[in-house]
Structure 1
Amino acid sequence: MAIAPQNNQAFLREVDDELRREQLAGFWTRYGRWVLVAVVAGLLAFAGYLYWQHRQNGQADEAAEELTGALRALGEGKAVEAKPKLAALAASPIEGVRAAALLAQAGTLADANDLKGAAALYKKVADDASLAQPYRDVALLRQTTLEFDQLKPDVVVQRLKPLAVAGNPWFGSAGELVAISYLRMKKPELAAPIYGKIAETEELPRTVRSRARQMAGVLGVDAVDQKESAAQ
């Protein structure tokens, strides 16, 4: 189903505004340090596994404790206290500790509205082939989110297409960015099925699914919420 040019432009503006509010600076403004801690907490579980692998190293125990303390300080709003600890941990030989520290540093920069500095740190993690893929994936997504307005749509697609697939932990966020980029490339036929799949993925937040369902409808894809349909 084709979209009239004027409707398409209005649609893109609405999507862009929503994206900025939810995924760029407004994301950090509204949720602040707690989101940062929540993101890193999930990664910390993986870091714990890596720590177990390295526990024969006498420095691993100290590094893990320092990381926990730094994250706790961030959660309590003590960024000044956490900053030197994170800087030291960012050079740790333990992969999980190093990655978590860099991600936390990037998050604090984004929280302070230093989006360029934050994106640079996320890129450092994303490009580090020595790190486990989960760290690199979340870093690439965060980097791309912060740089979204300055990137050509084909660059966004190239970066995030591997993450914009059902079953990937970052499908919702990456899928929205890729779909918007396809629309900017005037390829609604590629954006529509992504929105449709997001709308059907029950594991994603309801707000994300609802927005995707509306966009899919505009693009001619029937993406009915199965639970709502059953209730009716």
Structure 2
Amino acid sequence: MALPPNASTEVFIREVDEEYRRERMARFWQRWGKAVAAAVVVLLLAFGGWLYWQHRQREAAGVEGERMQAAFDQLSQGQAAQAQPALAELAQSKRDGYRVLAIFTQADILLQKNDLKGAAAKFASVANDTGVDDAFRNLALIRQTAAEFETLKPQVVIERMRPLAVPGSPWLGSAGEMMAVAQLRLGQRAAAGQLFGQIARDEGAPASLRQRAVQMAGVLGVDAVPAPPAVQEPSR
């Protein structure tokens, strides 16, 4: 049975269109097939390399973690000399956490030996490392300043600690105390008293530090004794 004219035309057009697409794809693969295949191979190799790199990174991190734990075990047993080689290697790690922790530990060992200058240099290396998180850098700056405190001019201490000794900062207690003492050495009693008062009211500061701040604020004429919690009357 013959197809109606319209149907025959549609079938013919569809066959021509399909043949044209096949011919166009054939020309495309003749011209670009090798390049596309090469690109796919490169992408697969790159993806495989990335997976391998990730695997190696995890392995290296695990090894460094084990070395750090071994060094801490040696330190807890009083074997600081045996722990030093591992700490020296970890202090060069490309991983910020292990590197900073190793340097801090090296500095603490120097502090135990009363080598304040050597410890300050270790802390300074972290404080000046713009590649690590600000939290590490701020803590390192505070510890550096504490190690150098007696040799620094009061104004230097104030300028270092000023950005950290502000209400709401997690460093208000430790940074603020050093800044307030430096202010006292410059005769700035009112400013020191206000800062001690802020520390005393900082619930995030250690209790011992807050207690010292209350006492110092009181000596300087600032009432920083926390108000007792309000007593709620029982409902009737």
TM-based fold match above 0.5:
yes
- Separation in structure 2 between the aligned mates of residue 145 and residue 207 of structure 1, nearest angstrom: 17
The question of whether the paired residues in 2 share the 8 Å contact of 1:196 and 1:216 is answered with yes
What is aligned with 1:207? 208
Counterpart amino acid of 2:208? T
Aligned letter for 2:98?
V
Map 1:116-195 onto structure 2 (within 5 A). 116-195=117-196
Letter in 2 for 1:134: A
Q: Give the AA of the match of 2:165.
A: A
CA distance in structure 2 between the partners assigned to 1:168 and 1:76 by the alignment: 36
Deviation at 1:152, TM superposition (A): 0.7
Contact 1:55 1:61 in 2 (8 A): no
Whole-angstrom CA distance in 2 between matches of 1:195 and 1:171: 10
Residue range with higher mean Cα deviation, 66-75 or 83-92: 66-75
The structure showing larger relative contact order (alpha-carbon pairs under 8 Å, at least 6 residues apart) is 1
Q: How does 1:88-127 map to 2 (within 5 A)?
A: 88-127=89-128
Post-superposition Cα deviations, 1:18-65, rounded to whole Å, max 9, x if no partner, equal xxxxxxxxxxxxxxxxxxxxxxxxxxxxxxxxxxx9974542221122
1:150-187 C-alpha deviation (Å, 9 max, x unpaired): 10111001111122123333221111100011111222
Is contact 2:200-2:211 (8 Å) kept? yes
Q: Does 1:81 align with 2:82?
A: yes
TM-score by length of 1: 0.70
Distance 1:135 1:54 in 2: 27
Q: Which amino acid aligns with 1:132?
A: D
Unaligned runs of 5+ in 2: 1-53, 232-236
Give the Cα–Cα distance (whole angstroms) in 2 for the partners of residues 169 and 108 of structure 1. Answer: 25
Residue 105 to residue 229, structure 1, CA distance change in 2 (3 Å): farther
Equivalent runs, 1:220-231 vs 2, <5 Å: 220-227=221-228
SS class of match (1:222): coil
- Assess, with a 3 A threshold, how the Cα gap between structure 1 residues 163 and 55 changes in structure 2: closer, same or farther: farther
1:140 to 1:54, Cα distance in 2 relative to 1, 3 A: farther
Q: Retained in 1: the 8 A contact 2:170–2:204?
A: no
Offset, 1:68: 2.1
Q: Aligned with 2:168: secondary structure?
A: coil
| Letter paired with 2:124 | K
| CA shift in 2, pair 1:132/1:214, >3 Å | same
TM-score by length of 2: 0.69
Asked whether the equivalents of residues 54 and 60 of structure 1 are also in contact (C-alpha less than 8 Å), the reply is no
Query: Which of structures 1 and 2 has the bigger CA Rg?
Result: 2
Structure-2 change in CA distance of 1:228 and 1:55 (3 Å): farther
> How far apart in 1 are the matches of 2:198 and 2:109?
33
The percent identity for this pair of structures is 47
Residues 95-142 of structure 1: CA deviation (Å, up to 9, x unaligned): 111111111101101111111111111111111111111111111111
The 1:99/1:219 distance shift into structure 2, 3 A limit, reads same
Task: Report how far residue 228 of structure 1 moved.
Answer: 8.4
CA distance in 2, matches of 1:191, 1:73: 43
Unaligned 5+ runs, structure 1: 1-52
Q: Does the CA-based 8 Å contact 1:54-1:94 persist in structure 2? A: no
- Equivalent position SS for 2:222: coil
State the distance in 1 between where 2:56 and 2:181 align: 44
